[in-house]
């Protein structure tokens, strides 16, 4: 969509939100002005802790107990939402203004089925021909919403509880709940963070379709600039509780004006930066409990001068055709607009093309299978199996990163947990450091835990809410004998916090006192605390903004170079794979369909599923053509006969429905499970 909508549906003026903390009043939102127009998508970007989510919660009046809105107005169709009594505000929530929260594990009710939670929204807020929807129509509508957001086997999933779903599936349930009442305004707080790129593309298509049909306004909070390029008409950049830049999408991506915005673009991983260290923004977002005399970004800005320290800049309009409608909070822009950024230099590929076969194998999966029984009836008899992992063979080499990519629910996380023996395999072998883990006693396996760690996808669920950060970090060190004394462990914890970009004072705080991205940094520090040889990284940067993501990727890369750590990197962020991974394995419905070096798989994908997966990745330039797959992801409880991908494959042949294709060798390091390449495989073998 292009152009400007004229009707303002949500007008936010001088919004100020404070939180009472042990360190004093924290001004999380400090004078924010936003205009949301009918039918437009307005993106709000910025670092974790900058106030984006608190702005969204303020608009919905869903602040934590310690929070309060101290000033401002939020006008919805001439009505100030901040002046409404709570009973009236409950009518607005869901029906007129809905919200998709960042962390589905905490937003969904753990004791209600996902179907029941969607049906509650439908029963409360929707009508059909002037009458409230009841009975079977409610369930039919709930199943329709589950189908719309791409959940396979919706009838079965409708009766399941949140803990039975993967992170991506839980996020889709939340989106279904938010869209069920067809709201006028949708506040989407990182709506696709936990989703793989193909489902992300479906969700973004769905949001764009609903927006176009109903002229629904969307306030999109995200750290993914590719999504912003695809979805937004206008962009606002937030830093330390303030808006520092507002611009039309095209002007913003052509030439960001604020130094902070420019640094966000510099921190994006890309193939050109492979082999080099990603630029990072030094320091951290300043604490919002103190007072500010000058610019809030001054301590981290490379172009600041004396005036910036003593005089706070105002939002000023930037003249010029390319920057029309741009506002920026920067003294430098008073002298004129910034020019378009220069192309970044190509990174060195030195060391990235070393043959993986020459490196020792740290961990290996051989025909690994993890099947979960489906039990029904009074006596809970087994009536089938969910084949989460169905014959996966992978080798992970020392000092190398193997990226495991694929759609949510394909078995990536289950394979990672089975590798660490956090889940017992149904069949196959897991070999670590030359030892079959299935033959180890419990005590021997426990002693091996320090050498293999995992960074979980959801930091809120993986951190004990009753423990301080110091106890969380030291628990594993004490258990596995890392550090001889408490003093040694304290030095180690201080070093870890510095590496992941958190202040030392964080040790005395609890997980709930941090933002989602900060909690993920703590989870990464915990995994690094025991000096492992293998780390399973399960979406470790999905909750992080691009500047902190760059810092974490640099940290992981430097640790790998220095300590020869091996990574199994489970992710749906292909730009990270392009930058960090040495090898890539593509997984679909419990099986590997393609594997090779990063350059081979990402530069010239062979399997039709890999081609569709890579085409769905949002790009900053927005020029990539998306291959849209037909149908839905089949249920792992009932995988299709033959090639599992054939019902959705645009190149399927009759024989694809009969037998599963064998792995064809297309080179020394590359395999693909697809009948399209039988001739190429024979040629590779003969050569």
pLDDT, one tens digit per residue, over 399-450 is 999 999 988 778 999 999 999 999 999 999 999 988 899 888 888 888 888 8
- What's residue 294's pLDDT? 93
Round to whole Å and give the CA distance between 251 and 243: 17
Nearest CA to 661 out of 588, 602, 601 is that of: 588
Q: How far is CA 135 from CA 40, 115, 141, 155, 363, in A?
A: 35, 13, 10, 16, 53
- What's residue 628's pLDDT? 77
Instruction: Grade residue 153 by pLDDT with cuts at 50, 70 and 90.
Output: confident
**Both tokens of residue 661?**
């294709």
pLDDT, one tens digit per residue, over 444-484 is 888 888 889 999 877 878 899 999 999 999 998 888 888 88
Instruction: Grade residue 350 by pLDDT with cuts at 50, 70 and 90.
Output: very low
CB 504 within 8 Å of CB 527: no
Three-class SS state of 636: coil
Start-to-end CA distance of the chain, whole Å, equals 51
Round to whole Å and give the CA distance between 448 and 439: 13
Half-sphere exposure of 644 (CA within 13 A, CB side): 22
Q: Provide the phi-psi class of 564: left if phi over 0, else alpha when psi is between -120 and 50, else beta.
A: left
**Both tokens of residue 645?**
């991908």
- Name the E strands within 335-481: 361-376, 381-397, 401-406, 427-432, 435-436, 452-455
Number of Cβ atoms within 10 Å of the Cβ of 317:
13
pLDDT, one tens digit per residue, over 65-80 is 999 999 999 999 889 9
In the block, which residue shows the tokens 């106890």?
Answer: 471
Three-class SS state of 247: strand
Query: Domain 358-589, what fold?
Result: Rossmann fold (3.40.50)
- What's residue 342's pLDDT? 55
Instruction: Grade residue 15 by pLDDT with cuts at 50, 70 and 90.
Output: very high
**Both tokens of residue 138?**
């409610």
pLDDT, one tens digit per residue, over 653-685 is 999 999 999 999 998 889 999 999 887 665 555
CB 553 within 8 Å of CB 580: yes
- What's residue 683's pLDDT? 54
**Both tokens of residue 228?**
């912003």
Three-class SS state of 363: strand
315 burial level (CB within 10 Å; 0-12, 13-18, 19+): middle
Helix axes 516-528, 486-499, angle to 10 degrees: 130
Cβ-Cβ contacts under 8 Å for 584 (sequence gap 6 or more): 402, 403, 405, 577, 594, 595, 596, 597, 598, 601, 602
Question: Is the pTM above the cut of 0.85?
Answer: no
Helix axes 136-148, 114-125, angle to 10 degrees: 110
Three-class SS state of 616: coil
Half-sphere exposure of 575 (CA within 13 A, CB side): 22
Round to whole Å and give the CA distance between 219 and 189: 8
Q: What percent of the chain has pLDDT over 70?
A: 91
Round to whole Å and give the CA distance between 509 and 525: 15
Domain boundaries, the chain: 260-340, 358-589, 618-687
Average pLDDT rounded to a whole number, residues 187-208: 78
- What's residue 1's pLDDT? 40
Nearest CA to 457 out of 548, 395, 519, 370 is that of: 519
- What's residue 231's pLDDT? 92
Three-class SS state of 131: strand
**Both tokens of residue 184?**
């006028």
Helices (H), ranges, 180-320: 197-214, 225-231, 249-254, 259-266, 306-310
Instruction: Grade residue 609 by pLDDT with cuts at 50, 70 and 90.
Output: very high
Buried/exposed code over 538-567 (b: 16+ C-beta within 10 A; e: otherwise) = bbbbbbbbbbbbbbbbbbbbebbeeeebbb
Nearest CA to 567 out of 468, 454, 472, 485 is that of: 454
Query: Most distant CA pair in the chain: distance in Å?
Result: 77
Q: Is the pLDDT of residue 5 over 50?
A: no
**Both tokens of residue 530?**
């025991």
Helix axes 197-214, 608-615, angle to 10 degrees: 50
- What's residue 352's pLDDT? 41
Q: How far is CA 500 from CA 169, 282, 497, 517, in A?
A: 29, 12, 5, 11
Nearest CA to 217 out of 205, 233, 203 is that of: 233
Instruction: Grade residue 232 by pLDDT with cuts at 50, 70 and 90.
Output: very high
**Both tokens of residue 669?**
């390091």
pLDDT, one tens digit per residue, over 311-345 is 999 999 987 655 557 999 999 988 778 776 654 44
Q: Is the pLDDT of residue 292 over 80?
A: yes
Round to whole Å and give the CA distance between 123 and 120: 5
CB 74 within 8 Å of CB 81: yes
Q: Is the pLDDT of residue 46 over 90?
A: no
Cβ-Cβ contacts under 8 Å for 536 (sequence gap 6 or more): 416, 417, 419, 420, 452, 453, 454, 455, 567, 568, 570
Sheet (strand 381-397) strand order:
381-397, 361-376, 427-432, 435-436
pLDDT, one tens digit per residue, over 249-276 is 999 999 999 999 999 999 888 878 887 8
Pairing of strands 671-672, 664-665: antiparallel
Q: Determine the distance from the C-alpha atom of residue 195 to the mean position of all C-alpha atoms in its chain, rounded to a whole number.
A: 7
Compute φ and ψ for 127, nearest 5 degrees: -135, 160
Instruction: Grade residue 632 by pLDDT with cuts at 50, 70 and 90.
Output: low
- What's residue 634's pLDDT? 83
């Amino acid at each position: 969509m292009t152009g400007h909508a004229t009707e303002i549906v949500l007008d936010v003026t001088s919004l100020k939100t404070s939180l009472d903390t042990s360190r004093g009043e924290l001004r999380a939102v400090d004078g924010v002005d936003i205009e949301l127009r009918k039918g437009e998508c307005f993106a709000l970007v910025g670092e974790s802790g900058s106030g984006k989510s608190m702005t969204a919660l303020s608009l919905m009046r869903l602040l934590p107990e310690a929070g309060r809105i101290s000033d401002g107005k939020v006008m919805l169709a001439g009505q100030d939402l901040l002046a409404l009594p709570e009973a009236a505000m409950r009518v607005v929530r869901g029906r007129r203004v809905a919200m998709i929260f960042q962390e589905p594990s905490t937003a969904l009710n753990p004791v209600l089925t996902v179907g029941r939670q969607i049906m509650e929204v439908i029963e409360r807020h929707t009508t059909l021909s002037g009458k409230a929807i009841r009975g079977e129509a409610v369930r039919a509508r709930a199943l329709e919403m589950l189908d719309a957001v791409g959940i396979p086997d919706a009838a079965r999933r409708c009766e399941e509880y949140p803990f039975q779903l993967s992170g991506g599936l839980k996020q889709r349930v939340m989106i279904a709940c938010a869209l069920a009442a067809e709201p006028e305004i949708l506040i989407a707080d990182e709506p696709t963070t936990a989703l793989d790129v193909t489902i992300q593309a479906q969700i973004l298509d769905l949001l764009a379709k609903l927006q176009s049909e109903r002229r629904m306004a969307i306030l999109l909070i995200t750290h993914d600039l590719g999504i912003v390029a695809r979805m937004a008409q206008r962009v606002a950049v937030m830093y330390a509780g303030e808006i520092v830049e507002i611009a039309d999408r095209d002007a913003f991506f052509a030439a960001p004006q604020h130094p902070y915005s420019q640094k966000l673009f510099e921190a994006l991983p890309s193939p050109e930066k492979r082999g080099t260290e990603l630029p990072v923004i030094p320091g951290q977002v300043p604490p919002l409990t103190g007072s500010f005399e000058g610019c809030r970004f001054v301590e981290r800005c490379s172009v600041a001068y004396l005036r910036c320290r003593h005089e706070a800049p105002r939002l000023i309009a930037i003249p010029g055709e390319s920057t029309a409608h741009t506002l920026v909070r920067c003294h430098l822009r008073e002298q004129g607009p910034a020019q378009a950024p220069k192309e970044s230099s190509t990174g060195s590929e030195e060391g990235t093309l070393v043959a993986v076969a020459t490196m020792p194998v740290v961990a290996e999966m051989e025909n690994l299978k993890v099947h979960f029984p489906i039990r029904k009836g009074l006596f809970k008899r087994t009536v089938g199996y969910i084949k989460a992992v169905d014959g996966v063979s992978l080798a992970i080499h020392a000092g190398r990163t193997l990226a495991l990519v694929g759609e949510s629910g394909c078995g990536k996380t289950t394979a990672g947990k089975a590798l660490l023996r956090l889940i017992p395999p149904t069949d196959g072998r897991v070999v670590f450091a030359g030892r079959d883990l299935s033959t180890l006693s419990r005590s021997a396996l426990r002693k091996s835990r320090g050498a293999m760690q995992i960074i979980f996808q959801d930091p809120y669920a993986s951190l004990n809410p009753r423990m301080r950060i110091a106890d969380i970090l030291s628990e594993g060190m004490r258990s596995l004998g890392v550090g001889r004394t408490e003093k040694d462990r304290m030095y180690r914890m201080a070093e870890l916090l510095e590496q992941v970009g958190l202040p030392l004072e964080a040790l005395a705080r609890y997980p709930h006192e941090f933002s989602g991205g900060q909690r993920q940094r703590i989870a990464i520090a915990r995994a690094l605390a025991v000096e492992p040889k293998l780390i399973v990284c399960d979406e470790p940067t999905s909750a992080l903004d691009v500047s902190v993501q760059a810092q974490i990727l640099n940290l992981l890369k430097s640790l790998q170079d220095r300590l020869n750590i091996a990574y199994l990197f489970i992710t749906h962020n292909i730009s990270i794979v392009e930058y960090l991974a040495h090898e890539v394995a593509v997984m679909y419905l419990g099986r590997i369909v393609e594997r090779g070096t990063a350059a081979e798989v990402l530069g010239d994908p062979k399997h039709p599923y890999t081609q569709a997966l890579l085409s769905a990745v949002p790009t900053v330039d927005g020029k990539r053509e998306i291959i849209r797959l037909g149908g839905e992801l089949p249920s792992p409880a009932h995988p299709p006969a033959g090639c599992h991908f054939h019902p959705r494959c645009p190149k399927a042949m009759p024989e694809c429905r009969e037998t599963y294709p064998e792995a064809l060798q297309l080179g020394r390091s590359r395999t693909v499970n697809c009948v399209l390449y039988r001739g190429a495989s024979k040629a590779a073998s003969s050569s």
